[in-house]
Amino acid sequence: MSELIDRVGDLVREAAQTVVLPLFKKLDASDVREKGPGDLVTVADQRSEKLLTEGLLRLLPGSTVVGEESVAEDPNLLRRICETGPVWLVDPLDGTGNFTFGRTPFAVMAALIADGELCAGWILDVTRDRMAVAERGSGAWVDGVRVTTRSDPAPASTLRGAVMMKYLPREMAAEISMRVGDIAAILPSQHCAGAEYPDVVSGVQDFVLFWKTLPWDHAPGVLFTREAGGVARRLDGTEFQVTDRQKGLLVAANDDIWADVRATLLGTR
């Protein structure tokens, strides 16, 4: 597996360096379109997914690739993540909005699942050339250095984290807005899951609350966080499963922080 980990990492870097970066701040109007209201796709997304799809199928013959842009064209492809055998999830350019408008962060991400279970994940922060990698049961690394989350409990009044308020149901957003004073800081969204998860692991923030949980956005980060010692659970306390269709996901550096944040922001424990 270690050889595959390295080879996929090389492929992800190739997509970033040969497809994504050369187009950063160089897109023409014709290179960008809406695939849904407020949901942008660029030629960089499409070309990156093509390179990754072809490369991943070569690396693991007999596997299946489920990419964000392919599913946008044919939503039925999403059903393949429930198939038996190895399936790749590909986010060819996470943070497309940032990328389109010449901002950072943005990432290239991939995950390997087998029989619906997370096996490995890769997150490349493109402009920093920082690679976060996780393998189930073996740990999490950033640029080859093993990483772990903070393990100490902490009162909610000292915790900092991001909340994706834009997508929350109105009542939940209103409740959280009334409780923000009980948390040290609610940070703005970075509009890039590939940045939010590593920031929880590294301690830049203690938690992040998502509502939309498309599998290619979250599979790599969930595994990376878990293998580093953190937690990623649905708001009812159940573990994230890559094949489910629920919404709402709270990610935190450890169990105590997860429970304190949920109790403080949502009034449940």
> Structural domain tally of the chain?
2
Last residue of a domain, one of 146, 171, 203: 146
Residue 79: give its domain's CATH number. Answer: 3.30.540.10
Q: Identify whether 151 is part of a domain.
A: no
| Domain end marker among 119, 146, 173 | 146
Residue 176 and residue 124 share a domain: no
Numbered residues of the known binding site for Mg(2+) = 68, 91, 93-94, 217
Q: What is the pLDDT of residues 166-208, one digit of tens each?
A: 899 999 999 999 998 999 999 999 999 999 999 999 999 999 9
Same domain, 117 and 176: no
**In terms of domains, do 34 and 142 share one?**
yes
Judged by DSSP in three states, 96 sits in: helix
Domain that holds residue 8: 2-146
Report pLDDT for 2. 79
User: Pick from 146, 181, 196: which residue ends a domain?
Assistant: 146
Distance, in Å, from the CA atom of 163 to the CA atom of 258, rounded to the nearest integer, reads 13
pTM comes to 0.96
In this structure, the answer to whether residues 136 and 63 fall within a common structural domain is yes
27 plus 54 within the same structural domain: yes
**pLDDT band with cut points at 50, 70 and 90 for residue 3:** very high
3-state SS, 181-250, equals HHCCEEECCCCCHHHHHHHHHHCCCCEEEECCCCHHHHHHHHHHHHHCCCEEECCCCCECCCCCCCCCEE
Are both 123 and 179 inside the same structural domain? no
Binding-site sequence positions = 68, 91, 93-94, 217
Q: Does a structural domain hold residue 213?
A: yes
Whole-number pLDDT of residue 1 = 66
Query: With pLDDT > 70 as the criterion, what percentage of the chain qualifies?
Result: 99
* 29 inside domain: yes
Domain shared by 72 and 106, yes or no = yes
Burial profile 220-235: b = 16 or more Cβ within 10 angstroms, e = fewer? bbbbbbbbbbbbbbbb
Domain check: are 134 and 14 in the same one?
Answer: yes
User: How many angstroms separate the first and last alpha carbons of the chain?
Assistant: 38
Same domain as 101, residue 170: no
